[in-house]
Amino acid sequence: MAWDFSTDPEFQEKLDWVEQFCKEEIEPLEYVFPYAVRSRDPKVQALVKERQDQIKAQGLWAIFLDEELGGPGYGQLKLGLLNEILGRYPSAPQMFGAAAPDTGNMEMLAAYGTDEQKERWLKPMLDQKLWSAYSMTEPQGGRTPTCSGPTPCATATSGSSTGRSGSPAPAGWPTSCS
């Protein structure tokens, strides 16, 4: 049995359009106006809107949302192929309305939010009038477990840690404490 890894021709046309659009429209714009999507300059906003209108006309806005949530419903495989292209251009995910952490927050709101929450939070995020944020709560900062308490201190016999939690140190963490 052979597997066919080809992309269906209709979707390949979308991928080709995205690649060309990113090269010819998004990349030059980000060289001249980095972070153009978040610019407050009305002239830059007009340039962004013009490109986003083209993206929307192609049915490629908010590509991560399923159809029942208001998106194109491409599924994980097609989304992966699209993101492979978008990931090559720093501002492309925002230009396509598909940048983290907004994507996850919009998915949650679209699937589980009340009508009031959708109106207050989802609609402005989809319209890029509002952006969500990600924040860490560790007082000493950082995103890795080694930057926050407790300090892992696995020993050959106990597998314990020091600090506030008292839970065993996960495999692969340092075996001695300073």
Lowest mean pLDDT among 16-25, 35-44, 99-108, 156-165: 156-165
Average pLDDT over residues 78-97: 94
What domain range is 36 assigned to? 9-98
Domain membership flag for residue 171: no
Domain membership flag for residue 42: yes
**CA distance linking residue 132 with residue 118, whole number of Å:** 14
**CA distance linking residue 165 with residue 150, whole number of Å:** 6
pLDDT of residue 135 exceeding 50, the answer is: yes
Q: What CATH number does the domain containing 82 carry?
A: 1.10.540.10
**CA distance linking residue 97 with residue 11, whole number of Å:** 19
Domain membership flag for residue 126: no
Domain count, the chain: 1
For 99-122, how does the pLDDT look when each residue is reduced to its tens digit (9 = 90+)? 988 888 998 999 999 999 999 999
For 51-62, how does the pLDDT look when each residue is reduced to its tens digit (9 = 90+)? 999 999 999 999
- 3-state SS, residue 85: helix
Where do runs of H (alpha helix) occur along 22-173? 27-32, 42-57, 75-86, 92-95, 102-112, 115-117, 123-126
Domain membership flag for residue 164: no
Considering only residues 159 and 23, tell me which one the structure prediction assigns the higher pLDDT: 23
Domain membership flag for residue 20: yes
Task: Please enumerate in sequence order all residues whose Cβ is within 8 A of that of 52, keeping only pairs 6 or more positions apart, or say none.
Answer: 61, 95, 97, 128
